[in-house]
A and B are shown apart, each in its own frame.
Chain A
Amino acid sequence: MNAPTANPVPPLPFRPLAHRLALALALLAVFTASLTGYFLYQDGRQALITTSEYQLTTATRLLGSRLAATLDDAQRDIHLLAGHPDSASALQGDRESRQRAETLFARFIENRRGYFQIRLISAAAGQEIVRVDRNHGLPVIVGGDDRQEKGHYPYVFETLSLPAGGLYLSPAVINHERGAHDAEEKPSAQLAIQINRADGPALGVLVINLDLRGTLNLLTSDLPPDTDIYLTNAEGDFLIHPDAEQAFAFDRGRRVQMQTAFPETRKLLDESYTGSLVFQTDTVHQAHAGDATDHLASFARIDTAPEIWQGTGQHYGVRFFIGLAQAMTGIEEQSRNMAENVAIKSLVSGLIAVLLAVLFSRAITAPLQRIAAAMSHIGKPDATLLPTGRNDEIGMLARRFSAMQQQIGEQLETLEMQRQALDHEAQHDWLTGIANRRNFISFLPQALARTSRRQSGLTLFFIDLDGFKEINDQHGHAAGDAVLVEVARRLLASVRTGDFVARPGGDEFVIVCEDLRTPAEAVHVAEKIMQKVAEPLVVGDTRLTVGASIGIARFPEDGTDADHLTSAADRAMYAAKAQGRGAFCVATDLVADAMPPAQTANNGNKEA
């Protein structure tokens, strides 16, 4: 046998398509949600930064403009004060003018919070003639010995070297001049103007000492408190810096410059570069706090007051750089909040997507499962209904499968019929339609067993036709066959329904009658058979007669198994044959009488 199980394949664990499809769809959904969330976050964060950059740049420019405007205001003030007749008169020694000038200057100090000092200094000796200082915030008129000689300060000699009416702004310095009251050791710059006599020569200078930090504080009061403010001179040296150590470093023999601290600002030093600059940096606090927080910084170059002469740089106009920096913690915090929001929304949409994915995959795979179920019940009466009504691929598959199912059913039916026919042919004599020898061999033991269980009797008749050979010889095989068919019909008619009639071969027949209890009953049957067989029969237009020699064996008397019983019946039939035509012989009698017929039976075994 070529068994198909020669290479046994272990069955694969069942992994439902629905699960995998659901997983794939869910992953896709979650991935899409996450990706969308990520890009949303990135874009949002960038938008936040861009907005902050814009705000910071605007604030920086605004601050620069305000500072420039403050310088404009100071210019207007100094022109006003220098043009006042009392200024010139005071320089020429007029006492009353000096007192009026002092009062006027005090008013200005009172009202202009960005001024430390207003002074009139004579050209000849560099002596302060009028001096009003700010002391603890209030104007104080400085007189007598407290007025000093300032001729050797650049704001005096540089201003005096300018053309009449020339304006001078000193470099921003830490004011080390002793006795300067609030200005002492403070960042300041001197704005000075020449005052001339009507006929030309310089009488002296009027000097306004500007409070740099105070001015800047006034201008930056509306900035957010965590904003760092930077101010540098034209060379980039820090004048205002959140870390006081970095401001006016040149005053302590060091240089700390914007372009070194923030290399990004180098391009602001390029004359051709206009506009401001915004960049992210982590160096804002590194120098003094080791803090590398990311900052957003904006710097702008401010060129203003083109009529002012500044000693440094040797050209007219005032240049400074201004910068603002903000920790990005605010932006980071907003980004973090945004990230959380996006994450939650992504999570929710992801979960919904997972749910939808499960439902969707079920919707797809449920019909497939029905098809699978239908396949497993193919040809069985409980075949499930296929989803043939659908107008999609699954419907198409179901319809094709249904057609296949029907075709297979029909073929199975045909096969069954053919099998039954074959089975019948194997068990029955092709000529007479009664059971054949094989059928008899398998029937007898079953009948014996049945009889034995019922404790009843069974009688076996072996029938051999007399004169058949002659018919065959004289009238041909067709006539012989017709005789055999007729005999079979008569035998069936001569026994009870349910009795077994077979043709083992040739002109021999066998009958098994169950439940025949007495020999008399058997004899009666035999006589009936002989009578029936002996009746003349017509084949074509010929009348023919055959006889029957019958051997009778009874169970259990003549044998307790099929072999012994058959042998006994065979012997009896030969014994009957030996007695002459149309005789029967009972095996029991035969054993009791003599042995020879049995021997004859053995020798003349003519099984088909």
Chain B
Amino acid sequence: MTFNCRIIVCLILMPLLAGLALPTAAATPVLRVLAWPGYVEPEVIEEFQKRHKVSVEVTVVDNDDTLLEKMRIGAGSGSGNFDLVAANTAEISRYAGAGWLQPIALNDIPARAGQAPRFLDYAGLPGLMQGGRVYGIPFTYAEMGLIYDRKAFVQPPDSIAVLWDERYRKKVLAFNGSSHNFSLAALRLGRPSPFNLAERDWPLAVDQLIALRRNVLVFYTQPEESADLFIRHKAVLMYANYGRQQLKLLTDRHADVGYVIPAEGALAWLDCWAITRGAGNVRLAHAFIDHMLGATASRLLESRQGLSSTKKAISMPAGKERQLHWLMPVENAEERTRLWQRILSGDTRNRVLQP
């Protein structure tokens, strides 16, 4: 699973650390939060601390493995090292299954009322519900849409098939990622689940990806790299693995580009807030989630990080919402990697499909 969080320097955000040193600090309850870079901005913490007369300690992690390790240690210590954790749906599912989380009292989070309907349909989101109880509250997400040059397209492209369109040969940028690219191929083949290729689908998917290889300029890796290539090589279309973050990078450089979710839908990841089993103050933890769904946190998430909040979209009417394929474990990650490496290296179909 790819997270479109810029890998920035890991910080322990404790702006009120100085406050802890005050004599009254000993009596102040402390809320310990485990989150990704940019999720809990200093202004957000300050607001919460003022409102609830508490101290918030944020520990920042920048990859799933570290997150898992910290959760494991926290769970092992009995009382738990953290009260709250932000993680993607797959991780939430894993933590809940391990018994590290406690169910969320939805009524204690009134700010959910401002969320888009798709983020309130917990049963429709993968991994959030277990045994009829909700373990995660959606917080931020990114979908992998298409970025297009407005001058080259009179109408926004409506299907991912445009990536294969030979009219745009060498003007298309795609992402260098085995799992996502096979999911993309599955969408192109019209399969219901992009994460579950049937046996007979593999050669077809390989064909699609070889065709894609011949049509693209490059398979990029980093968002900055993609923006640079897009502009320098006057590309017209880009499969945006990093979503709106890439859109922001391009518009920051005055590129006249649009962003669209194609009819086939888009792959998307979703990060949620969860409360640990050992949380010290459950009421306060719910209040924190409620706060994170509020105006300040949502605004900063979008303006500063280029991430999407889960609030109701104002510009996009609910009826036109395109399907999002929330990332799930794929049927065979190793096979996807193996085949993709061959495709990327420029092998022919026969070569790629060799055992």
Contact = CB atoms under 8 A, between A and B. Distances in A.
A254 B62 CA distance: 10
Nearest to B345: A178
B151 interface: no
Interface in A339-355: none
B346 A149 contact: yes
Interface stretch (B209-217, B262-270, B283-291, B314-322): B209-217
A188 to B, nearest CB: 14
A145 B348 contact: yes
B170 interface: yes
B351 interface: yes
B351 A145 contact: yes
B213 A152 contact: yes
A179 B350 CA distance: 14
A179 B214 CA distance: 19
Contact of B350 (A145, A152, A176): A145
Given A157-B170, A161-B233, A253-B7, A151 B348 contact: no
Contact of A152 (B216, B228, B341): B216
A151 B345 CA distance: 10
Contacts of B125: none
Contact of A178 (B219, B233, B347, B350): B347
A285 interface: no
Contacts, number: 55
A128 interface: yes
A291 interface: no
A150 interface: yes
Given A176-B341, A178-B341, A255-B7, A150 B346 contact: yes
Given A157-B170, A157-B233, A253-B7, A151 B214 contact: yes
Interface in B59-82: 63
Interface string A168-186: 0000000011111000000
A379 interface: no
Contacts of B346: 126, 128, 148-153, 177
B191 interface: no
A556 interface: no
B219, B342, B345 — most chain A CB neighbours (10 Å): B345
A154 interface: yes
B200 interface: no
Given A157-B170, A178-B347, A179-B347, A314 B341 contact: no
B342 A154 contact: no
B129 interface: no
| Dominant secondary structure of chain A at its interface with chain B | loop
B51 interface: no
Contact of B345 (A154, A179, A253, A254): A179
Interface residues of B, number: 21
Nearest to B228: A314
A180 B344 CA distance: 13
Nearest to B63: A253
Contacts of B350: 145
Contacts of A255: 7
B347 A157 contact: no
Contacts of A157: 170, 217-218, 233
A152 B233 contact: no
A125, A145, A255, A314 — most chain B CB neighbours (10 Å): A145
Contacts of A152: 213, 216-219, 344, 346
Nearest to A127: B346
Contacts of A176: 341, 344-345
B232 interface: yes
Contact of A148 (B63, B228, B347): B347
A149 B341 contact: no
Given A125-B214, A152-B216, A179-B345, 12 more contacts: A128-B346, A145-B350, A146-B351, A149-B346, A151-B170, A152-B218, A154-B218, A157-B233, A176-B345, A177-B345, A178-B342, A255-B7
9 contacts: A149-B213, A149-B348, A152-B213, A152-B216, A152-B217, A157-B218, A179-B345, A253-B7, A254-B7
Interface of A: 125-126, 128, 145-146, 148-154, 157, 161, 176-180, 253-255, 314
Interface of B: 7, 63, 170, 213-214, 216-219, 228, 232-233, 341-342, 344-348, 350-351
